[in-house]
Amino acid sequence: MITPEIIEAHGLTQQEYERICATLQREPNLTELGMFSVMWSEHCSYKSSRVHLKRLPTKGPIVLQGPGENAGVIDLGEGLAAVFKIESHNHPSFIEPFQGAATGVGGIIRDIFTMGARPLALLNSLRFGLPASKQNRAVLRGVVSGIGFYGNCIGIPTVGGEVVFEDCYSLNPLVNVFCLGVAEQDKIYYGRAKGAGNSVYYMGAKTGRDGIHGATMASAEFDEQTESKRPNVQVGDPFMEKLLLEACLELMQSDILEGIQDMGAAGLTCATSEIASRGESGMKIQLDSVPQREQNMTAYDILLSESQERMLMVVKKGHEREAERIFNKYDLHAENIGTISDDSWLHIRFQGKEVATVPARALAEEAPVYSRPLSKSANGYADCAIDLPGDYNEVAKQILALPTIASKNWVYRQYDYTVRTNTIATPGTATPMIRLKDSSVSLAMSADGNGRFCELDPYIGAQIAVAEAARNVVCSGATPSAITNCLNFGNPEKPHVMWQFSRAVDGIAMACNVFGTPVTGGNVSFYNETEGQSIYPTPVIGMVGILRNRAPLTPHFKHEGDTVILAGPAGEDLGGSRYATLGGPLRGPCPSLDLDLEKRLQNALLQANQEQLIRSLHDCSDGGLFTTVAESCYGGYPNTLGCELAWEGSGRPDAFLFGESQSRFILSCSSESLSRLNDIFEFYKVPHCVLGNTHGREIVIRVNGKTLIRLSVHELYDIWYNSLANLLR
């Protein structure tokens, strides 16, 4: 008997239950109710976000596969394709930081090799509460250890990312993981089950009770009962995943698979229903054949378990022995658990009985879609009205010591970022980049977001997130090509949260249309709230850029006497900046952004790099122009190089130095290149000015004839490099 209490415990509304009954033309049993509860959860069905996500641009000349599959695919030329995606594992990483982060890495890796691509690089976008808190430090340590453990063990380099600290993430850390792989274009595989009579195989780790209702947990706010949800977190085994990876790629090379799907959120229920629905097929599944590591498991347990490192694959009829030979080669447990049928239903049998009979499409595609109420609410943040600093040198040192701006060497030293020898830009030195051996292609990657700006204005803030990701790619010399996104927001049942989400989607769409970077897929993470406290709206953009037949640009100054140029406006924005909150809460307004100017500026820099006019290039972001200059000076440590700069203007000196106005780059060039650079900037009609030259071992900055900054590069490097590590000792 399904009672209202049971329905509520499964995260379903009474209306949703009635819809299930109408779909089945009867009441579901408990097992079927569980299947619907996970597949119709926010985490799996996107029932609150679908109406908005349709507005994103998803097509383009290089897009081979957009949203709807395990990962997006773009054309790299030379018969190659890049396969990439970003996903969140936020809720599990707060409950159990190590395993939550580790299994997040494992899940995104499976999304990539499920498509037939060999994973080559990982990035992560992490957000934590302020590290002064013991609890926040513990979560940070656990997450970083989990990411390092999984990536290092499986042998996929973690080549970069971002780490941000804000108080609003104290009870809701964000763990977003990006993975990129490369495949041959004619060997892309899809999660589609076709061919009646083909065999359905389960391969990988045995099924346990870990992770049951993990998808449902990720579709609800946290409260004082958070600790009790620890059993919903899965446990990962990267060594098993390595075997799965190699076995799957070999199976794909032998052309005996009709379809393949990993068992991630919602486990076997998700894998069977999605792969059958995409293939417009059905399945007959025998749960007794599913390998189990715990005794007395029920059909409900087996179908909803989110145990890790498991794959579902459809083997072409007559090729079963060949598949089993490959399974055995890698010492992987694999079982034939069923066959493909042509009736579009899942028929699940267990212990001699049919325990679930459900239409695959109803589970995978026909969850209710909600157009939830939208309501703009005043953010309540005062505009910047701060006095000019008395000591600019002291402010500069304070900014470099901030945890978000300081070096993340404590983090990335725990990652193996050179394994497989494809990495050509290491963490902390430049935009993450890998080469593709035996080709002319290198790939730049960026994972960027700014919750502060989106809190102040979600529409402009989301545009800035896309622009920032594009800037980072351009700073490597690569052309921004496509994005994936991870949209982290609060409770969608609250109208102001849905307004934030809707505006952020529109902002991403607008920016992607301007930059020509279609959205190939992504992830939505709602319910990032605990006891009513929400995170900042935080869209994270994972962008891929393509560079051909050229070494990458790097951000650090290289030659004494080079000319230092500000490309872009001088800037007048203080709102949302780290400087403006040194002594208090977040202040507005959000910085403005001219997308047309941004695009023209990026195109100018790309052309200048093609003509080999630029020696270093660094975008201005967190901490403003001063932080960019400082990082350009000590980026080649121990070969540091100072500079003497001067600016004349009518704006506030602190806004010029520390404000976070958009569309600004610091670049260096030889004196011989300056004339041609000016011509390019004039052609693209972008503002620019010569600030000075590289020189000595100090940073000296004069504004309107007054020396405001005079600091030793080595002193600044010591502050920047050690501040976060000292906090975490």
How many other C-beta atoms lie within 10 A of the C-beta of residue 224? 8
Classify each residue of 515-544 as buried b or exposed e, where b means 16 or more C-beta atoms within 10 Å of its C-beta: bbbbbbbbbbbbbbbbeeebbbbbbbbbbb
Cβ partners under 8 Å of residue 633, min gap 6: 556, 557, 640, 641, 642, 643, 699, 713, 716
Catalytic hit among 43, 52, 91, 347:
43
CA 97 to chain centre: 17
- Which residues are paired to 201 by β-bridges? 313, 336
Cβ partners under 8 Å of residue 530, min gap 6: 171, 172, 221, 222, 223, 226
- Which residues are paired to 541 by β-bridges? 448, 485
- Has 43 been annotated as catalytic? yes
**Helical (H) or strand (E) element with 167:** none
- Has 89 been annotated as catalytic? yes
Catalytic hit among 10, 52, 89, 695:
89
* Gap between the Cα atoms of 419 and 141, Å rounded: 22
Q: How many residues does the chain have?
A: 729
Q: Counting beta carbons within 10 angstroms of the beta carbon of residue 46, is it exposed (0 to 12), middle (13 to 18) or buried (19 or more)?
A: middle
* Gap between the Cα atoms of 701 and 716, Å rounded: 14
Backbone angles phi, psi at 424, to 5 degrees: -115, 0
**DSSP assignment letter at 580:** G
* Gap between the Cα atoms of 504 and 522, Å rounded: 14
Please tell me the number of Cα atoms within 13 Å of 634 on its side-chain side: 22
Per residue, the 3-state secondary structure of 360-399, as one string, reads HHHHHCCCCCCCCCCCCCCCCCCECCCCCCCCHHHHHHHH
Instruction: For helices 97-113 and 238-253, give the axis angle rounded to 10 degrees.
Output: 10
How many other C-beta atoms lie within 10 A of the C-beta of residue 239? 11
Q: What is the DSSP string of 675-709?
A: HHHHHHHHHHT--EEEEEEE-TTEEEEEETTEEEE
- Which residues are paired to 118 by β-bridges? 182
**Helical (H) or strand (E) element with 416:** none
Residue 109: name the closest of 68, 70, 66 by CA.
Answer: 70
Q: What is the DSSP string of 253-318?
A: HTT-EEEEEE--TTHHHHHHHHHHHHTT-EEEEEGGGS-BSSTT--HHHHHH---SSEEEEEEPTT
* Gap between the Cα atoms of 117 and 494, Å rounded: 39
Q: Counting beta carbons within 10 angstroms of the beta carbon of residue 121, is it exposed (0 to 12), middle (13 to 18) or buried (19 or more)?
A: buried
Q: Which residues are catalytic?
A: 43, 89
